[in-house]
């Protein structure tokens, strides 16, 4: 019998059509307010998986709008009780449940201080959904497994559509992208399962990527820790060169999320370096030179800056699912964790 996590991952192509439809209805109103109120400051507030989706947004938003987006730290309000001037600010709160007390306090305080708040949730009855100025409803049905999978991908769809729209209009065919997820799902029982079987007894992973795909590399790191109880650390492949490169040696396990892009040569150089250092290279890529260097590999579909975090995000959840199941763990309910986490 398939786990809940597996069922939810494989439901994505169908469920995401709801996300797209809801966003298409609401996003034009957000764009209108951004223009009418001349909003010039943009920030996200999120934790965990939702913050990884926000990382993708932080890369994509400047590419599409020419404007930067910052990360709002909840403790500014929840611990320090600050009062801020958020006039002219669009604050995007990304929360699957929309129920966490810290998230709700940030929303209330930000609205008090002048921000226009967009809530991105999968719960239409939550305080964030009901009280934010705008709500982007993911609408992918209840996620019963603790690890967020379909909600992460839905958050990417909502945030990427928002970035494109504020930048001048949605050009990407998101229904086509939802369909393309099926190509990655088809890899689960073949190459991804083969990789999982090969590395099931390994530990201590370095995970590298760059640009819009970095958020999904972060998501792989989170999934390996919460579902498989493995130590992992994500780096931008550029940041990795500034010190952490010393970790690359015989016995190291390096996962490279390497879509063909502006960073192709950088990925090739890193793959070759891993091979020279006798590190175990696990490559998810569509770059031949990278795949040729890999000890374990998953040949990914060709992507662009929009689709790479989505398709690689699906691959991340599938790898964690397969490793967790190979280890015999309950991937639906990892130890010590709850679906809704309350922090300050």
pLDDT of residue 150: 98
CA distance 152 to 201: 27
CA distance 158 to 163: 9
Q: Domains plus CATH for the chain?
A: 4-176 (3.40.50.10490), 186-326 (3.40.50.10490)
In this prediction, residues 297-321 reach a mean pLDDT of 98
pLDDT of residue 344: 60
More confident residue, 247 or 234: 234
Q: How many CB atoms lie within 10 A of CB 195?
A: 25
Three-class secondary structure of residue 202 per DSSP = coil
From residue 307, alpha-carbon distances to 36, 73, 177, 241, 300 in Å are 30, 28, 7, 26, 12
In this prediction, residues 171-186 reach a mean pLDDT of 98
Judged against a pLDDT cut of 90, whether residue 186 lies above it is answered with yes
In this prediction, residues 115-131 reach a mean pLDDT of 98
Report residue 338's pLDDT band, with 50, 70 and 90 as the boundaries.
Answer: low
CA angle 179, 180, 182 (to 5 degrees): 80
pLDDT digits (tens, 9 = 90+) for 59-69: 999 999 999 99
Q: How many CB atoms lie within 10 A of CB 125?
A: 9
In this prediction, residues 232-257 reach a mean pLDDT of 92
CA distance 334 to 157: 26
Q: Which residues of 103-117 are buried (b: 16+ CB within 10 A; e: fewer)?
A: bbebbebbbebebbb
Contact in structure between 319 and 327 (CB atoms under 8 Å): no
In this prediction, residues 307-315 reach a mean pLDDT of 98
CA distance 342 to 338: 9
Report residue 210's pLDDT band, with 50, 70 and 90 as the boundaries.
Answer: very high
pLDDT digits (tens, 9 = 90+) for 40-97: 999 999 999 999 999 999 999 999 999 999 999 999 999 999 999 999 999 999 999 9
pTM of the model: 0.96
């Amino acid at each position: 019998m398939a786990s809940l996590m597996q069922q939810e991952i494989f439901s994505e192509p169908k469920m995401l059509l709801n996300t797209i439809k809801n966003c298409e209805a609401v996003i034009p109103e957000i764009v209108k307010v951004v223009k009418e109120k001349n909003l010039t400051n943009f920030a996200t507030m999120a934790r965990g998986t939702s913050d990884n989706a926000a990382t993708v947004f932080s890369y994509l938003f400047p590419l599409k709008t020419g404007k930067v987006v910052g990360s709002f730290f909840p403790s500014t309000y929840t611990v320090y009780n600050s009062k801020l001037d958020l006039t002219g600010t669009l604050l995007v709160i990304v929360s699957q449940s929309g129920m966490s007390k810290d998230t709700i306090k940030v929303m209330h305080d930000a609205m008090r201080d002048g921000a226009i708040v967009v809530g991105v949730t999968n719960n239409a009855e939550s305080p964030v959904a009901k009280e934010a100025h705008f709500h982007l409803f993911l609408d992918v049905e209840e996620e019963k497994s603790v690890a967020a999978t379909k909600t992460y991908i839905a958050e990417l769809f909502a945030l990427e559509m928002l970035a494109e729209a504020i930048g001048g209009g949605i050009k990407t065919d998101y229904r086509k992208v939802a369909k393309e997820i099926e190509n990655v799902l088809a890899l689960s029982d073949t190459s991804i399962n083969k990789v999982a079987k090969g590395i099931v007894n390994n530990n201590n992973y370095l995970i590298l990527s760059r640009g819009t795909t970095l958020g999904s590399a972060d998501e792989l790191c989170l999934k390996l820790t919460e579902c498989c109880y493995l130590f992992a650390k994500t780096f931008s492949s550029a940041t990795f060169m500034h010190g952490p490169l010393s970790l690359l040696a015989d016995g190291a396990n390096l996962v490279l999320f390497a879509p063909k892009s502006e960073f192709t040569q950088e990925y090739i150089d890193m793959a070759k370096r891993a091979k020279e250092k006798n590190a175990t290279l696990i490559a998810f890529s569509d770059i031949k030179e990278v795949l040729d260097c890999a000890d374990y590999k998953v040949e990914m579909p060709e992507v662009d800056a929009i689709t790479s975090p989505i398709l690689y995000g699906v691959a991340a959840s599938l790898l964690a699912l397969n490793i967790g199941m190979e280890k015999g763990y309950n991937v639906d309910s990892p130890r010590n964790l709850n679906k809704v986490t309350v922090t300050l």
